[in-house]
Amino acid sequence: MSVLITGGTGRLGKELVKVFPKSLHPTRQELDFEKKDQTDRYISDEKPGIVIHTAALTNVSYCEENKQKAYETNVEGTENLVNASVNHNSSCYFVLISTACVFRGDVGNYVETDIPYPKNYYALTKLLAESVVKYSRLKFLITRTNFVAREKWPYPRAFTDRYGTYLFASDVASALKSALEKKLTGIVHVCGEEKISMFDLAKITTPDIKPMTLSDYHGVPLTVDMSLNSDRIKPFKISR
């Protein structure tokens, strides 16, 4: 059964390609999922048995300032992939990578049955993408998670008062492989065992990272407590 990975050059996509070395992972030129006709042709030709949709606009500020583009990519792009899969391979197993940010972030330790309440436009587009997948006729897995690449922290500072049950992208890729082997469906939270601050997360790869707090930040509303829990699977240990 062929596996299609969108966003194969992204943080998670690169790790998934390692886990699924025989997968299809087209460039954006080969598969621009924002273009309905091109997406339809690609899915019609390849008929992947599993689609793992990781590609998305994830920069919170960019999405807030470019709402139309964020909607076209995160929502309509997902819709194009889902519809093409329904039309050309209705037995396809569709896996959407979603985010802990679909929740408000005022409580934390959210489980799969908790009610989402997005705090910014990026999170709203991801929740809408979930709905596209959830109400399709496909067998699906929506994976909410919170991860970073195992590399130097991309900013000079990190928040000491924003929290998550973080994993590295390689951890999430391994967890996804396990979930697919078990043929899990519905919504599943893939999360780490421990709730830590972004600062503590950043220190793992960048020991000289400088601290900051939300009082130092002025911009788009951010999800403060992104910690997840799961009623369906055990949490994973972040690889240090």
Per-residue pLDDT of 71-118, as tens digits, reads: 999 999 999 999 999 999 999 999 999 999 999 999 999 999 999 999
Which pLDDT does position 51 carry in this prediction? 98
pLDDT band at 36 (very low <50, low <70, confident <90, very high): very high
Decide if pLDDT at 1 tops 90. no
CA 146 distance to own-chain centroid = 7
Decide if pLDDT at 206 tops 90. yes
pLDDT in tens, 207-221: 999 999 999 999 999
Domains of the chain listed by start with CATH number: 3-149+166-191 (3.40.50.720)
pLDDT band at 240 (very low <50, low <70, confident <90, very high): confident
- Residues of the chain with pLDDT > 90, as a percent, come to 99
**What's the mean pLDDT in 168-189?**
97
Return the structure tokens found at 130.
């979930």
